[in-house]
Amino acid sequence: MRKIITVSREFGSGGREFGKRLAEHLGVGYFDGEVVEALARQTSLDKGYLDKVLENGVTHFPASYANSFSRISAASNSAMLIAKQHNVIKEIAKNNDCVIVGRGADSVLDDLKPFKIFVYADMAAKIARCRGRMPEGENPSDKELEKKIKGIDKGRRTTHDLYSSFVWGDKAAYNLCVNTSGLSIESVVPAVAEIISDYFKN
Amino acid sequence: MRKIITVSREFGSGGREFGKRLAEHLGVGYFDGEVVEALARQTSLDKGYLDKVLENGVTHFPASYANSFSRISAASNSAMLIAKQHNVIKEIAKNNDCVIVGRGADSVLDDLKPFKIFVYADMAAKIARCRGRMPEGENPSDKELEKKIKGIDKGRRTTHDLYSSFVWGDKAAYNLCVNTSGLSIESVVPAVAEIISDYFKN
C-alpha cells in the first residue's frame, strides 16, 4: 500500500512548510508546484499561465472577459486543465510514496486512503506569517491582508468543492487537523510523522 | 503557566480513552467523572442525578414536566448546576496541570490558553466502538446506534454552545483535531503529547 499524505491548508497557515518538512522527515517525495510543472510539460503551456488558471479555478475571470462566450470558453478551458491536473496527481500517487500539497489531491486520491491533513491557523497568526514574507517596500494593513487571505481561501474552497464529495476544511473528511498557531512547525512535524506511521501500520 | 489540556469528543470516538492515556503519559491529573464527584460533594446532591442533569443540559426535560412552570424550574436548576460545575473546573485548573474531558472545559478555561483537542471519528468506527462496549444481551441495529450517537452529540453541542463563544467541534477553536478512525489511540498518544509539549514551550 502506497503511503500517500495530502496536505490541505489555509493560506498563511504554514501548510507548505509543513508538507515540505513532513516529506523530508518521512523520506518521501514532495509535490506542490511540481504538479503544475508536470502539467506544463504535458500541455506545452506556460507554468505561470497554468498557475493562474488553476488557482483561480472556474469561477473568477478577468474583467476583460465581458461577454458570456468568453466566460464559457474560459470556464471550459479551466475545467479541462483541472481534470488534466487530477490525472497528473493520480500518476504521481501511483508511482511514489508522497506528500502532495493542495490541488484537490485530498479528494482526487480519496480511494487510495491517503492520510489527509488540514493545516490552519488563527487569523492573527496568518497575517503575521504573510507579513513576514512580503517583498520589501510592501506594507498592506492587517485589514487588507485579512481580505486577501480570505479571498484566496474562498477560491480554494470553491474550486475544491466543485470536484469533491466533501467540503474543503470540514474536519470530518480529514485524519488530522493541525492549528499551527502557537506551534513550531519544525518541532511538531516528527510527532505528526509518528501518527502517520501508525495509520499506515493499521 | 499551568499545562491544561481539554479534550472534547464525539460520542464513541474514544475521546475518554484518549484523554486518560494522555494524562498518564504526561503525568498530569485526569478529570472527567471527577468533576461531577467534586460537585456532588459541594452540593450534597447525588452523582447519578447530577450526571443526568448535566448531560441532558438545559433543553431536555422528562415528559412528565408537562407544564411550563416545571420546565422553567428545571431549566434554572440545570443552569445553576452547570454554572457550579464551571466553578469546579476553574478550581481544578487553578491547582493542577491536567487533562479535562468534556464538560465545556474547552470554553470555560479558554482564558488560560489550554491546549484544546477535539477527538472525532467516522460513524462506522463510532458504531463499532459502541457495539464493543454494549452490555451482554443488548444488540441494537447500526441505525439505532447511529441515532443514539447523534442524539448524545446534539445534547453536548447544545449545552456547550449555550455557554461558549465558539461552536462545539468547530476546528477553528481547537489546537488539534484527531480523527481516531484507523489509528491506535494507545500508539498515537505519545506523539500528541510531543505536540502539546511544543505548545507549552512557546
Shortest distance, CA B198 to any CA of chain A (angstroms) = 6
The confidence band for B197, taking pLDDT boundaries of 50, 70 and 90, is very high
Flag whether residue B183 sits within 8 Å of chain A, measured between CB atoms.
yes
Least confident of A8-17, A33-42, A145-154, B135-144: A33-42
**CA proximity to B149, closest of B170, B125, B171:** B125
pLDDT at B148: 94
Higher-pLDDT residue of B33 and A24 is: A24
Q: How far is C-alpha B168 from the chain's CA centre?
A: 10
Yes or no: say if A58 and A82 are a contact pair by the CB < 8 Å rule. Answer: yes
Tell if the CB–CB gap between B188 and A194 is shorter than 8 Å.
Answer: yes
Flag whether residue A202 sits within 8 Å of chain B, measured between CB atoms.
yes
Residue A135: count other Cβ atoms within 10 Å of its Cβ.
5
Assess whether pLDDT exceeds 90 at residue B147: yes
Kindly write down the DSSP assignment for every residue of B18-68, as one continuous string. Answer: HHHHHHHHHT-EEESHHHHHHHHHHHT--HHHHHHHHHHTTT---TT--SH
Q: Give the nearest chain A residue to B174 (CA atoms).
A: A179
Higher-pLDDT residue of B54 and B56 is: B54
Cross-strand pairs, A7: A101, A117
Torsion angle of alpha carbons A3, A184, B94, B14, nearest 10°? -10
Assess whether pLDDT exceeds 70 at residue B32: yes
pLDDT at A71: 61
Tell if the CB–CB gap between A177 and B181 is shorter than 8 Å.
Answer: no
SS3 A41: helix
The confidence band for B105, taking pLDDT boundaries of 50, 70 and 90, is very high
Higher-pLDDT residue of B61 and B127 is: B127
Higher-pLDDT residue of B22 and B40 is: B22
pLDDT, average across residues B99-113:
93
Flag whether residue A110 sits within 8 Å of chain B, measured between CB atoms.
no
Tell if the CB–CB gap between B176 and A175 is shorter than 8 Å.
Answer: no
Alpha-carbon distance A108 to A177, whole Å?
19
Shortest distance, CA A202 to any CA of chain B (angstroms) = 6
Tell if the CB–CB gap between B175 and A184 is shorter than 8 Å.
Answer: no
SS3 A198: helix
Instruction: Please write the tens of the pLDDT for every residue from A51-85.
Output: 877 776 555 555 555 566 666 666 677 788 888 88
Option in B177, B187, B199 nearest A177 (CB): B177
Flag whether residue A178 sits within 8 Å of chain B, measured between CB atoms.
yes
Percent of chain A clearing pLDDT 90 (strictly above): 59
pLDDT, average across residues A22-39:
91
Percent of chain B clearing pLDDT 90 (strictly above): 59
Yes or no: say if A192 and B195 are a contact pair by the CB < 8 Å rule. Answer: yes
Beta strands at A176-179 and B176-179: parallel, antiparallel or unpaired: antiparallel
Instruction: Please write the tens of the pLDDT for every residue from A161-190.
Output: 988 999 999 999 999 999 999 999 999 999
The confidence band for B33, taking pLDDT boundaries of 50, 70 and 90, is confident
Kind and range of the H or E run holding B98: strand B98-101
Instruction: Please write the tens of the pLDDT for every residue from A116-164.
Output: 999 999 999 999 999 988 888 888 999 999 999 999 999 889 889 988 9
Instruction: Please write the tens of the pLDDT for every residue from B176-186.
Output: 999 999 999 99
pLDDT at A62: 56
Flag whether residue A168 sits within 8 Å of chain B, measured between CB atoms.
no
- From chain B, the residues in CB contact with A176 under 8 A are 176-179
Q: Name the average pLDDT for chain B.
A: 89
